[in-house]
Every structure is written in C-alpha cells, then in structure tokens.
C-alpha cells in the first residue's frame, strides 16, 4: 500500500493523507484521512486554493478524526471538486464540523465582500458535506472490503475526537489525529494504542513537556479572587471548541464549591456559545471527575451569573456592567472576533488582567502581548498594554512529549515498525524524532508535502 501526505507534512495545519490499498480480492481503494485547511502560515491561503494533488473522483471514502478546521476545512472544496462518497466521523464531530465550516465560510465571505478575496467554495458545498456524513460509534467496525476494515478510538483531544486504526493487506496502520493532554477534566483519556505496524503520529508538542494540569484550577481560582479584590476585569481570550468548555467547567467547580461570589461572567462568542450547547447535548461523550459523578444530571458548563451574549447588542452592553467582571471571548489568539473590542477598552486598564490559556502563534496580536509588547495596534489604533498579562500552559489541548512517547508504546506487544511524524513544525519534529529513536529504538520519519511512501 502507498501513503501520501497532502498537508500537515512538516507543518501543523492542512491535515490530509491519502492511502492507496487493496482488499483481499485485489480490489483497489483510495481513502483520505482528514481534509483540513492550511492556516496561519504566510502561504496558507494560496495552499488552500491549489487544486488537490489526487483525482477527487477516484476517492472511495473520507475519514475525519475530529472537527477542528485544520482537519476538516477543505471538505467543502472536496465536494465542490466532485466528491460524492461517504465522509465518516463520530456523532458529535458532525455538528461540531458544521459549526466550524459555517464559521470559516462566514469569515471568508466577509473578507470577500471587504477585499474582493476569492471564495474557496460556495455555501451549498458546506451543506453537501453534511449530506455525505456517515456517523459511526467508537469501536464500531467499518468494512470497506474483505480484509480491509477501519475503527475509531477515543483521542481525548476535543468532544468526538478520534484516532483511527486500519487493518489492510495483513497490516495494522494507525492515524493519531490530534491526541489530547493528560488529565483533562471533561474528556475521556486517550485510549491506549494496540500493537500496530505503522503509526502516523501528530507531533505538535513533541519537543516539550507541559505544566502539570492539576494546578490549573488553583491558578484560575487565584486570578478570579484577585479580580474581585481589585474590582477589576478578567479577560480570557479563548478558543471556541474545548478550551472554552474547560474554562467554564473549572469555573463551575470554583463558583459552586469553593468561592461563592456574585460577579457577572460573560461568554461573549457566538461560536463558543453554540459549541458549548453541543458539549451539553453530547454530555455522554464527556467524562467528569469521579468525585462529582453523583451530580449526573447537572449542567457542568453553567453557573449562576453566567451570561451568554449571543447578540451584538448584548455584547456591547457588557461595557455598562460595573467591575468586577469576567469576559471570555474569541478569538483565542486575539487576531479577530469580539475580544478585539474588549482589548481596546481594557488593555490600558491597570485593574484588568489578561489571562492567556492557549497557544499564541507567531504573527498574532496574542503573541505580541504574550512576549511583553507595551504598545500594540488594534484596528489601526495605538493601544497601551497596562493590564496584567498572565499565561498558563496547562490548558493545552495537545499531548506533550511524555504523553506521546507513552502512547506510542503499545499495551499489548511490540513497538511499531515505523513511526511517521506529521502535524508538527520541522524543528519540534526533529527534536521529537531524535527523542523517539533514542528512547524506543524504532525507525522514525517525517515525510515532506506530497511525498509518497510504501508501507
């Protein structure tokens, strides 16, 4: 069989892998694992507009690991290019993907209206994705042909996230998708790996170790307490899917069990509000800490004084609420969305605390502030940074080096023949590859964009 890399090769975005294989009767198949969008990097837009480097009409099936745009963002483009086959995913991934793709389309149409940028696909192509979705359960066997089957396993990265195992040509191949951090309080743990011949593994944080996530409730509790004492504003830029729900869950625990204080908390992001609705709806896919399991019918993402401000007018009215208050708004890297208006207002305020809970990519406003900029430009306006800036790494949604290394060692037998690193920047990948070769003594490769390897 042959595997080629159509994204997330020596880079973190655009996940898309093409597997060419045969079943026991010699019938040929071509399947895609993920079909994500290139994001962030300078040439990302052009890369998304490049035609696919495979024949779309020859693809038999698409398998999506999870809803994030860097794994699903080019699905409508695939539909526009004539793909008519099934798109497999878990039950929660379907509506979450819809949220992600509709949001992308909205941003794209705005840019097109404002700057005349071309559209990557049309609205009807987004709808097409959902008509072709086939939802599967974890551990349900999907049979493509005799001796060619696939299965979804819990990845613990976001609601509905999975890694995928494939049995074909007498071999077992695993695609990690994105794997979650250890001890995330609302998600099940990543399912341990069973013996596999080849593992295609993400390597986003393959070069680092995260802070211990267990201390994060205390840190969050502390900044909330300081906000109340200083009568300040706590501003939390947050990613709509997963990070926001983790923060809400931690706050629910703090406000219901340890710190009883009346202070308005605003969830000021339409996409995060809708994603939180899905987290509530698919609560059976989540996992809460054992000590609170008796509260089974409880909504862990709501607490008194939480205001979900869906409408623009409600968002603007947040300004009129007296301090202290907490505002959770997107985007997570502060390069757009409602957080921008709050930053203009509160960054110059010495009673404000900006609490960074996620990765800040190079070139974003978030990165500038994180690195200590004293003046920033927002919507052409000079803004002084006089607020306190605090960051916590423990909310990362990705596995670190220790977690990935442990996961790659199967619970039931020998190590993989080959580990194929994807979804990581070149330098972290090199560090992680060297670490794995040294620790596990296995072959590790990091293929280039469009490289094809024989398995």
In the window 340-369, what residues touch Zn ion (CB under 5 A)?
A: none
Strand order in the sheet with 452-454: 133-136, 87-90, 61-63, 28-33, 17-22, 2-5, 452-454
**How far does Cα 118 stand from its chain's mean position?**
26
Shortest distance, position 235 Cβ to Zn ion, whole Å: 24
In the complex with Zn ion, the residue whose CB is nearer, 12 or 247, is 12
178 binds Zn ion (CB under 5 A): yes
C-alpha span between 384 and 377 (Å, rounded)? 9
| CA-atom Rg of the chain in angstroms | 22
Determine the Cα–Cα distance for residues 401 and 381; give it in Å rounded to an integer: 40
Phi and psi angles of residue 184, each rounded to the nearest 5 degrees, phi first: -75, 125
At closest approach, how far in Å is the CB of 146 from Zn ion?
Answer: 33
- Least separation in angstroms between residue 241's CB and Zn ion is 9
- Residue with Cβ nearer Zn ion (159 or 385): 159
Among candidate residues 272, 387, 262, the one with its CA nearest the CA of residue 325:
262
Considering the complex, what minimum distance in angstroms separates the CB of residue 157 from Zn ion?
Answer: 6
For residue 242, state whether it binds Zn ion (rule: CB under 5 A): no
Cα separation, 143 vs 146, in Å, equals 7
Using the minimum distance from each CB to Zn ion, give the nearer residue, 68 or 74.
68
Q: Segment contacting Zn ion (CB under 5 A): 23-31, 129-137, 170-178, 403-411?
A: 170-178
CA distance 29 to 26: 9
Between 178 and 191, CB nearer to Zn ion: 178
Q: By C-beta, is 73 or 232 nearer to Zn ion?
A: 73
Q: Which x/- pattern over 130-169 shows residues binding Zn ion (rule: CB under 5 A)?
A: ----------------------------------------
What is the distance in angstroms between the CA of the first residue and the CA of the last residue of the chain?
5
Angle at CA 278, nearest 5°, toward 187 and 190? Answer: 20
Q: Shortest distance, CB of residue 66 to Zn ion, whole angstroms?
A: 6
Biggest distance spanned by C-alpha atoms of the chain: 72
Minimum distance, C-beta of residue 41 to Zn ion, in the bound complex (Å): 16
Residue 140: other Cβ atoms inside 10 A: 12
What is the smallest separation between the CB atom of 20 and Zn ion, expressed in angstroms?
25
Question: In this structure, what is the dihedral angle of CA atoms 65, 135, 59, 82, given to the nearest 10 degrees?
Answer: -110
Closest to Zn ion by CB, 93 vs 315, is 93
Select the span of 176-184, 265-273, 400-408, 415-423 touching Zn ion (CB under 5 A): 176-184
The site for Zn ion, by CB under 5 A, has a size of 2
75/354 with CB nearer Zn ion = 75
The backbone region for 288, taken as left when phi is positive above 0, alpha when psi lies in -120 to 50, beta otherwise, is: beta
Q: Are 159 and 165 in contact (CB under 8 A)?
A: no
Q: Please identify, using beta-carbon distances, which residue of 242 and 250 lies nearer to Zn ion.
A: 242
Stretch that binds Zn ion, among 178-186, 297-305, 409-417, 438-446 (CB under 5 A): 178-186
Helix count and strand count (H, E) for the chain: 13, 22
Closer residue to Zn ion (CB): 11 or 85: 11
**From residue 91 to residue 110, what is the string marking binding to Zn ion with x (rule CB under 5 A)?**
--------------------
Q: What 3-state DSSP class applies to 86?
A: coil
Rounded least distance, CB 294 to Zn ion, Å: 32
Helices (H), ranges, 7-74:
44-49, 69-72
Interface positions, 30-69, toward Zn ion (CB under 5 A): 68
> CB under 5 A: which stretch of 122-130, 137-145, 175-183, 440-448 binds Zn ion?
175-183
In the complex, the residues that contact Zn ion under the rule CB under 5 A are 68, 178
């Amino acid at each position: 069989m042959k595997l080629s890399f159509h994204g997330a090769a020596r880079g973190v975005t655009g996940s898309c892998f093409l597997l060419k294989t045969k079943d026991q009767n010699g019938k040929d198949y071509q399947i895609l694992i993920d079909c994500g969008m290139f994001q962030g990097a300078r040439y990302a837009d052009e890369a998304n507009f490049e035609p696919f480097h495979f024949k779309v009409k020859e693809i038999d099936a698409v398998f999506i690991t999870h809803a994030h745009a860097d794994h699903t963002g080019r699905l409508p483009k695939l539909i526009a290019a004539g793909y008519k086959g099934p798109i497999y995913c878990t039950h929660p991934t379907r509506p979450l993907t819809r949220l992600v793709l509709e949001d992308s389309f909205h941003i794209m149409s705005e840019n097109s209206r404002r700057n005349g940028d071309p559209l990557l696909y049309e609205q009807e192509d987004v709808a097409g994705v959902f008509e072709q979705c086939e939802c599967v359960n974890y551990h349900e066997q999907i049979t493509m042909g005799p001796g060619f089957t696939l299965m979804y396993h819990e990845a613990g990265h976001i609601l509905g996230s999975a890694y995928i195992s494939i049995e074909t040509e007498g071999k077992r191949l695993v695609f990690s998708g994105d794997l979650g951090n250890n001890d995330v309080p609302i998600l099940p743990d990543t399912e341990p790996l069973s013996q596999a011949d080849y593992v295609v593994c993400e390597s986003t944080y393959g070069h680092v170790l995260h802070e211990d996530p267990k201390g994060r409730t205390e840190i969050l509790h502390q900044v909330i307490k300081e906000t109340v004492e200083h009568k300040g504003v706590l501003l939390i830029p947050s990613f709509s899917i997963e990070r926001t729900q983790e923060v809400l869950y931690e706050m629910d625990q703090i406000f219901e069990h340890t710190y009883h204080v009346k202070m308005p908390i605003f969830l000021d992001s339409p996409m995060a509000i809708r994603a939180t609705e899905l987290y509530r709806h698919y609560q059976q896919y989540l996992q809460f800490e054992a000590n609170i399991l008796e509260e089974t019918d409880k909504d862990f993402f709501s607490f008194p004084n939480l205001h979900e401000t869906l409408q623009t007018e409600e968002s603007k009215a947040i300004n009129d609420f007296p301090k202290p208050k907490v505002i959770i708004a997107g985007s997570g890297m502060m390069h757009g969305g409602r957080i921008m208006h709050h930053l203009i207002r509160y960054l110059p305020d010495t009673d404000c605390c900006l609490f960074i809970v996620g990765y800040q990519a190079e070139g974003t406003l978030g990165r500038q502030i994180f690195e200590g900029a004293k003046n920033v430009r927002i919507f052409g306006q000079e803004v002084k940074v006089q607020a306190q800036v605090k960051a916590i790494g423990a909310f990362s949604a990705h596995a670190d080096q220790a977690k990935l290394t442990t996961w790659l060692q199967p619970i039931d037998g020998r190590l993989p023949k080959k580990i194929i690193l994807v979804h990581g920047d070149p330098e972290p990948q090199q560090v992680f590859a060297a670490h794995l070769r040294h620790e596990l003594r296995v072959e590790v490769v990091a293929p280039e964009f469009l490289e094809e390897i024989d398995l």
